[in-house]
Structure formats: structure tokens, C-alpha cells
Structure 1
Amino acid sequence: MGSREVTEHQARPADSFAGQHITVAGLGVSGLSAARALARLGAHVTVVDGGDSPARRETAAALADEGVTVRLGDADTLPEGTDLVVTSPGWKPSAPLFAAAAAAGVDVIGDVEVAWRLRGPAAAPWLAVTGTNGKTTTTRMLGAILRAAGLRTAEVGNIGTPIVDVILDQERAGGEAYDVLAVELSSYQLHWAPSLRAHSAAVLNLAPDHLDWHGSMEAYAADKGRIYEGNRVACVYNLADRATEDLVRGADVEEGCRAVGFTLGAPAPSQLGVVDGILVDRAFVPDRQRQAQELAEVGDVNPPAPHNVANALAAAALARAFGVPATAVRDGLRAFRPDAHRIAHVADVDGVAYVDDSKATNTHATEASLAAYEPVVWIAGGLAKGASFDELVASAAPRLRGAVLLGADRALIREALARHAPEVPVVEVDRTDTGAMSEVVEAARGLARAGDTVLLAPACASMDMFTNYNERGDAFAAAVRELDSGGA
């Protein structure tokens, strides 16, 4: 971990956007937020979007009333006179629009970079979180802890309110709206935010994901690692994931910034960990060689699954880096309620627990989810996004009672089960309508015994059968409630 002597990063003034001709790529949530904000700041804004639907035309008409030009159906051509391109996070770096911008010598940034440049001298510091899995849960835990400490905060970025809107609201309030921000950042957002310099940041874990966007695992990891650049107080990493520590070692941080690890085992100095069911801090104490501060009990984490305890430790480390007292960590974790479809207990039916982790849309998240329960009847399948399931199945095989598979790429999981867990009974449901979940849950019920857990942790995306993972989880919960009421 390199260091440099740098004072607080000086944000560029908001009026630096005034008068510029700015092209915004995409009519999504972040694109709309950026377009409206930049127009209010006096920029000449043109939004480009490849779609041309009635809904987009309606949005374009609304933006026109606010002085924003919208060009639908052509997202490849750079509007003449563009001084700056602001992209929505999901646009790939290889997009023709960005090639045209590069050829014209025009910079491309994202909405997070816009927000960072808009910060005034009294702006709230950022505590930033990224990782392949667990970002949202950790950020929400962090927000709960900060509030328990009496701090004014908001969870922003890849979660909740667009970050540009929050920053502008704060600046209008004279910098007094928030004491600190809990900021969730995706790899996409980090790619387009070169100036970001957080107070402290955490990379929770790294596993192959979005490689079609980044081009390689190395590029994906490098974008995640951008979150550590310029950190002032702490770079928080996962001792169980060496790649996160490697990113810390390669970061260029401010003088005095510390590397702080978290572990599910007993912590060494400069780490947070778990001792006899207690979350403890040996990083932010007066004598970390000989002292440890009790923060909370594992039972204060909801739910207390191992990977969720790891999330809690990461959130606690960021909060402690900001000076939050130990009692606030405990109180915040007790107050925290996980978002829907994240290892959410739905019901117990005939002695079997039914758990909804529809948010586990990749193998890394599913591996962590499966590790929290034993024995398990596993419900999996959907769109594999190019994933391989061999490693996941091999690690989970000893705890599997059975598996129920659905979705377009279920055969890939079935084949992995045949190779690595041939003794595990498998039921395939070939229906593709949304009502298929009732059949899936009934099949899982037939495989489960009292004391088992039926776990929806698909390891796949949902869009082959459902609008999103929320709808998939809702369908599972509804089918379980039907069982519980004596139906199906």
C-alpha cells in the first residue's frame, strides 16, 4: 500500500459544469438524475439512448420541458460540440459513443464522478463499499450503525436515491444535510469515477462477475480496487479473500491510512473478528497489540449466517474508522433489517425451514448461502450468464439433501450435480411460466425432512422466467405460504 501526503481532496466547484455541452448516455435512473442536475447547474445537456419506445418518448418530452435535449434511437453518434460525456453505469467501455468521444478528445465520466466533483468544502465524507456480493447489505448495516451513533447519514450510490441528487441537496443545505454518507459502488460506477477519494472503503470479496463488461477478471478487479485510491483513514479488506488484500497493497493512499482486515476467526492486531460468539475490534483501540473491544454478539446480526457476519464486520470496521463508539455498532446491528430476498426466512412448514435468497444470482453468493445451512434442499437455476457450477456443487455436495432445478440453464447445474454429487436426488421442473414456482416448492417439500432447510439460492439470473430476482423471490414466498396454509 503506497502512501502520499495529500490534504482533503478539493472538489471542483459546481459551476464548472455551467455552459458546457454535456452528453448523457442513457435514460435510466442515474442518467435522468445526472441530466436534470446538470441542466439545473447551467449545462447544455443532450441525452442519447438507443431505445425508442412510448415510455422513452414520454420521458423525453418531460426532459424537454426542463431544457434537456433527448435523442432517441441513436446512441452511437457523439453530438457535435460535446465537451463531456456522462454515462450511465451499465454502458460498456467498448460502446461506439465512447470511441467517438476518445477520437474527439472528450472525457467520459459517470454519475458518481459528477457527484464527487459537485462536493463543496463542507461536504460529508464518504464511507464506500464494493465487492462481488454483499454490497447492499453491508451498506445498509453501515447506515444503521451510523444512525445509532446519532449521525445524519444516507445510503446512496448503487442503492436508494441517486448520489447526484443527494449531493445537490446537501450543497443546497449549506453542507449540513449529512455528517457522513454510506456509499455502495459497483464496478461499473468505479470504472467511471477517476477522482473519487473516500474517507475509508471496503472491498468485501472478489469473484468472477460481469466479465463480459470488463473483458477480464484482472480488469474487473482493477476497477473494484479503484475504491481504495486516495483513502484517508482505512482500507478494509477480507482476510478470507486474498485478492482484496492484494488490492489494498496496490493502492495509492494518503499518508497514515491503514489496512484493516476482517475475519470470522480470532483477529490479530489491526483486524476485526469473532471470539467465542463476540464481534471484536483490535484495530481501532488504544493498544491493539494487547486490547480488544467487544462490539456485538453474533446473535445481534440478522440473520447470523457466516457471510452476513462478515458483512457486519466490514460495516463495523468502516464505522469504527469514522470514530463510531462500540455501543453504536451493537445497537445498529440490532436495528438492521435485511432487504427482501436476501437469506430471508419465509416460514417453517412441517418442521422444514423455507429460506428465500433469490438475490443469490451468481455462484459466489450461492456458495455463501449454502454454507449457512445443513442439510439443504437446494432450489437453483435460471440464466447462468456463462458461469460454471462444478466448484460450487463440489463444495456444497456434503450438505445437500436434494436439488430442484428450474429455468433455461438448469441442465448445466444438473450436469455438475451428476459429476460431483451423483447420490443427491434431483427434480427438474420444465415449466417456464411464473406459476412454475408452486411446482418447484412442492417438489422441494417432497425431498425435505424435518430439520432441513429448503433454500432458494438460484446461482443464476432470473430474467428467463421472471422480471427480476424480486419477482422470483415473491413467487417462492407465495408458494411457501400456500403450503403453510394447507394448499398445494
Structure 2
Amino acid sequence: MTSERLSSLTSWYAEWTGLRVAVLGLSVTGFSVADTLAELGADVLVLTESASEEYARLLPVIGVRAWTGSLDTVPEELLAFAPEVVIASPGFAPDHAIIRWTQGAGIPLWGDVELAWRVRDKVTRADGAPADWLLVTGTNGKTTTTRMAATMLVASGLRAAPVGNIGTPVLDAIRDPAGFDVLVVELSSHQLWYLGLQDGPEPVSPAASVCLNLADDHLEWHGSFQAYRDAKAHVYDNTRIACVYNKADEATRLMVEEADVVEGARAIGFDLGVPGPSDLGVVDGIVVDRAFLDDRRTSALELTTLVDLDAQGLAAPHLVSNILAAAALVRAVGAPPAAIRDALAGFTLDPHRMEVVAIADGVTWVDDSKATNPHAAHSSLAAYPGAVWIVGGLLKGVDVSGLIATRGPSTKAAILIGTDRSALTAAFERHAPTVPVFEVASDDTEEVMARVVELAAGVAADGDVVLLAPAAASFDQFSSYADRGRRFSAAVKDRIARGTEGEHDADAAPGDR
């Protein structure tokens, strides 16, 4: 009976009243799920290891029960509740005890994206249809591409928003009373793993989708690179108009070839070279579209130029790739080239993404704290060859030796931070033995960046770049990559304000290797 009922729940206006739903986790995503279900009239039990003061206060107000305690085993409260469906926040890995219990008991398991798709018709467009979805994933560049695509759509005169893993839950946008024409949905591999479990009556079916690139990341969550890759590939499932892929990354092309899409969906490639008739690319410094025009075999549409992008700080190769991907997505739903050009003319990158925080005494200090894996750091180092490189943190089970072998030898020096320094030290010894390496051993969050900046200032000379591109997660020493970036920026500005006072001498010698 439960299966039949869930099959009927494909609209906001379906009969959700009394449906027993267990919600795992009470972060921003978990609260958006609980709040939505409460509005629908479902019977909701939230299970969380901890709750913020705000959420703990709000749950009783919206009529939702909460259980707080250890989730290492299945709580008796969950067993007694006998949920008809479980909706998990993205942090719950496949091998989590409650996830295993849910699947073993045959209880349907959703993520927040599945719920959002089912109720997306709460507010419709002028034509009576729900907002179109554009899906964005990839190891790196997701947030930048998502923001770019949404900005391009708004410049086209459409009501659009960047949502999902970018920070605003998609359910919050679904319930916005003003409604949207298009939602650009950033999806993590965690969200896509849950999406891949679904085989319901109306699966998520985006207008266009993209996997930007694929490299090792989140292996501790997925268990293997293959599982991580397979999760990412779900972004293309049931795509209706355009499956956008990176011609420079063979893995993304293979994903498209294997995807089960709606008949008529096209494969649209992008890279920094001259584009083919169904691609976007670059010709003589001009960013062009050869995919979404009638005469694409002999013509191309100009979108912007590398000169214009350079003026906006957007000409780094990986950023141009993000622009091409975003442009392909929005062109699939009719955005005109002029809107793309106008949007890029006013676009600025997020904080902590290739952000120049200061230039002093000829040294440029760059915060790319959002480079939380080797693939992202590789792009940063490609943009700033010869930099003094600040690297380290939680490596999440990822091997950094390839990154250091390819980019390490060209750096002027390396400053290692974080708990996984030994792996970095060994990689530098093997692959870049002539590069000076310094270690900051302090675990004091308040002191780390001050020491890092002190060391970097002792190495950097006029014309050099000091680059924070950690290639690792931040949670060993900082609350987030943003916290890490803010502390770096503050330490840089503090040192500049103090001038050259306190120059160090012996401390600038390379640390123990």
C-alpha cells in the first residue's frame, strides 16, 4: 500500500497528509525537508545528533518532532515510528547504519532533491508549467558554473536562481511564492547518489545537465573512485535537451554515452579549442557557440572574448571552461548570446575562489581556499606558475602525489599545513626534492595563518604570488574553507598593516622534511 501511495505523490497538491517520514539530519538541508513536509501535512520525525538553538526552537513551532542522540545505531524511536519513507541529508554515507537499515528493511530512501522534484509544481510559470531545471555537477567548478548560468538567465529576462549544494536548498526555491522560470541546481556526488536510487513514476528530468570534470574526491564517503564516478554520472539521467560534457575530460563524454536520456537529447561538448558543429569553444580569442544555431556547420555565434574576460579576472583556463559550460546550459533553454555577454561583464567570483586579497611590496596574495582537492589546486597552480604554495589539510583519502609531481617542481616554495602533512612531505621529497618546504605544525587555529603568512613573506620577492590552494578539506583546523580563507586574508592584511616589522631570519629556513 505504501508503494502505491508514494507513486501517487508526484505533485504539491497530492495527498501527503499523515505520511510518516523520517528525516535524517538537521542542517540547512534537513530543516528545509522537515519544513516542507510539515507544510504538506506529513507526520515528520527528525533524527539528529545535534541541533542548533534556532532549529530546536522552530521544529515544535512547525509541528515537527525531533529526536537527538547518537545515530551510530538505529534508535528505538525510529523503529517505533515505522516510517513509510526516509529522507536523508547529504552527509549520510551509503554505509551509515541507518541507511543500511533503511535499505535492508525495503523502506524507500530519498534525498531532498527527489522530494523537491515531486513538489516542484507548487508555483508554476506563466505557461502553467513548473520551472525548468538545469543540473550542474563535477569535482570542481560547480558553484562558479551554477552562479554564472543563473546570472546569464537573469540577464535574459528570466526569473532564475542558483540552488542546491551551492547553499540555498532547492526546496526553499520551490516554495518561493513568486516562482521561477528556471532553477540552476548544483548537485554534490552525495545528492546524486541518493538520486540514483530512484525508480519512481516521475524521475528528475532536467532540461540540460553537465558534469564539468572528474577527479578523485570524497572517496571516504563513496568507498571507491568507481562509486564516486557512478554517482556523478546520474546527473545526465533523463535529460531532455542537452547533455553538456567536457571534451578535455574523457570520463564526462563516456558518462553521456552511457546515460539513459529522453529521446532527442543532444550531446554538447566544450573545451578551450576550436569547436565542432555541436560544441562550444574558443576561436582566435573569441568564445563561440557552434551548437545552438541553425547554420552550425559553417557559422558560430560570438559569446564574449578572452580580452573581455581578462578585464573581469575570468580568463584563467578553468574559468573559461566554466563559462563555456554555463553558456551551453543556458543556450539549451534559449538564452541569447547578448545576455551571456552582458552577464559576464558584471560577474564576480565568489570569495575564496581565486580571490586576490592584497598586493603589497610587489607580492600578490591569492586566496583559493575553495580548492579543496588536488584537481582544483592543479587549476590554481596552472593560473599562477611559480607561486609560493600553501597546501594541506584533510586529504579525504585522496592521493596528492600526482598533483605534486606535475605542479610541485615549478613552485617557488611550499608551506604545509594541516594534519595530513606527512603525505605531502613524502610527495615533495619524491617528486620535487629541490623545492623548499616549510611546515606549520601548530594545531592552534588562531595561530596557523599568522605563521603561514610570516613564512610566505620571508620567501616571496617582488613579482611573486603567494597562493593558498590547499588541495584538501579544512575541517582539521578550521570550521570551513571560508573560515580558512578569511583567516588567511586577515593574517595577510594584518602583516601588511604592520609593514616589514618583525622580519624573520632563521625561521625562514626550510622546515624538517
Sort the TM-score into its range (normalised by shorter chain): over 0.9
Quick check: 1:442 aligned with 2:454? yes
Structure 2 distance, partners of 1:138, 1:336, is: 11
**1:207 aligned counterpart, secondary structure:** coil
| Paired position in structure 2 for 1:456 | 468
Residue from 414, 424, 427 that aligns with 1:416: 427
**1:17 aligned counterpart, secondary structure:** coil
Per the TM alignment, residue 11 of structure 1 is displaced from its structure 2 partner at its CA by: 4.4
1:223-262 counterparts in 2 under 5 A? 223-262=231-270
Quick check: 1:333 aligned with 2:341? no
Q: Amino acid of the residue matched to residue 190 of structure 1?
A: L
Structure 1 distance, partners of 2:218, 2:13, is: 33
Structure 2 distance, partners of 1:62, 1:208, is: 39
Cα deviation per residue 1:280-327 (whole Å; 9 max; x = unaligned)? 111112122111111011244433211111111100110111111111
Cα deviation per residue 1:18-66 (whole Å; 9 max; x = unaligned)? 2211111111111111111101101011111234x6x46x633431232
Per the TM alignment, residue 395 of structure 1 is displaced from its structure 2 partner at its CA by: 0.8
| Paired position in structure 2 for 1:134 | 141
| Paired position in structure 2 for 1:294 | 302
Quick check: 1:273 aligned with 2:281? yes
**1:259 aligned counterpart, secondary structure:** strand
Structure 2 distance, partners of 1:466, 1:335, is: 32
| Paired position in structure 2 for 1:97 | 98
| Paired position in structure 1 for 2:49 | 50
| Paired position in structure 1 for 2:505 | none
Structure 1 distance, partners of 2:219, 2:448, is: 31
Contact 2:220–2:396 under 8 Å retained in 1: no
Per the TM alignment, residue 17 of structure 1 is displaced from its structure 2 partner at its CA by: 2.3
Q: Amino acid of the residue matched to residue 279 of structure 1?
A: V
Quick check: 1:148 aligned with 2:150? no
| Paired position in structure 1 for 2:416 | 405
Kindly tell me: are residues 84 and 14 of structure 1, through their superposed partners in 2, closer, same or farther at Cα, counting changes over 3 Å?
farther
Q: Amino acid of the residue matched to residue 161 of structure 2?
A: A
What is the root-mean-square deviation in Å for CA atoms of aligned residues? 1.7
1:358-437 counterparts in 2 under 5 A? 358-433=369-444, 434-437=446-449
Kindly tell me: are residues 94 and 476 of structure 1, through their superposed partners in 2, closer, same or farther at Cα, counting changes over 3 Å?
same
**2:91 aligned counterpart, secondary structure:** coil
Per the TM alignment, residue 91 of structure 1 is displaced from its structure 2 partner at its CA by: 0.6
| Paired position in structure 2 for 1:303 | 314
Residue from 63, 66, 81 that aligns with 1:67: 63
Per the TM alignment, residue 399 of structure 1 is displaced from its structure 2 partner at its CA by: 2.5
Per the TM alignment, residue 13 of structure 1 is displaced from its structure 2 partner at its CA by: 4.4
Q: Amino acid of the residue matched to residue 303 of structure 2?
A: L
Per the TM alignment, residue 182 of structure 1 is displaced from its structure 2 partner at its CA by: 1.0
Alignment gaps of 5+ in structure 1? 1-9
Structure 2 distance, partners of 1:210, 1:265, is: 30
| Paired position in structure 1 for 2:108 | 107
| Paired position in structure 1 for 2:168 | 161
Structure 2 distance, partners of 1:342, 1:421, is: 26
Per the TM alignment, residue 437 of structure 1 is displaced from its structure 2 partner at its CA by: 1.1
For structure 1, which segment, 297-306 or 148-157, has the greater mean C-alpha deviation from structure 2 after superposition? Answer: 297-306
**2:192 aligned counterpart, secondary structure:** helix
| Paired position in structure 1 for 2:188 | 186
Structure 1 distance, partners of 2:458, 2:284, is: 37
Structure 2 distance, partners of 1:18, 1:300, is: 54
Contact 1:140–1:336 under 8 Å retained in 2: no
Structure 2 distance, partners of 1:161, 1:358, is: 21
Contact 1:144–1:335 under 8 Å retained in 2: no
Kindly tell me: are residues 355 and 74 of structure 1, through their superposed partners in 2, closer, same or farther at Cα, counting changes over 3 Å?
closer
TM-score by length of 2: 0.88
Per the TM alignment, residue 391 of structure 1 is displaced from its structure 2 partner at its CA by: 0.6
Per the TM alignment, residue 367 of structure 1 is displaced from its structure 2 partner at its CA by: 0.7
| Paired position in structure 2 for 1:84 | 85
TM-score by length of 1: 0.93
Contact 1:130–1:186 under 8 Å retained in 2: yes
**2:14 aligned counterpart, secondary structure:** helix
| Paired position in structure 2 for 1:3 | none
| Paired position in structure 2 for 1:356 | 367
| Paired position in structure 1 for 2:506 | none
Residue from 227, 230, 235 that aligns with 1:222: 230
Q: Amino acid of the residue matched to residue 475 of structure 2?
A: M
Cα deviation per residue 1:445-477 (whole Å; 9 max; x = unaligned)? 222222221100011112222111111111111
Contact 1:267–1:274 under 8 Å retained in 2: yes
For structure 1, which segment, 373-382 or 301-310, has the greater mean C-alpha deviation from structure 2 after superposition? Answer: 301-310
| Paired position in structure 2 for 1:264 | 272
Contact 2:209–2:244 under 8 Å retained in 1: yes
Structure 2 distance, partners of 1:453, 1:140, is: 27
Per the TM alignment, residue 157 of structure 1 is displaced from its structure 2 partner at its CA by: 0.8
Kindly tell me: are residues 103 and 428 of structure 1, through their superposed partners in 2, closer, same or farther at Cα, counting changes over 3 Å?
closer
**2:413 aligned counterpart, secondary structure:** strand
| Paired position in structure 2 for 1:29 | 28
Contact 2:214–2:252 under 8 Å retained in 1: yes
| Paired position in structure 2 for 1:38 | 37
Contact 1:441–1:479 under 8 Å retained in 2: yes
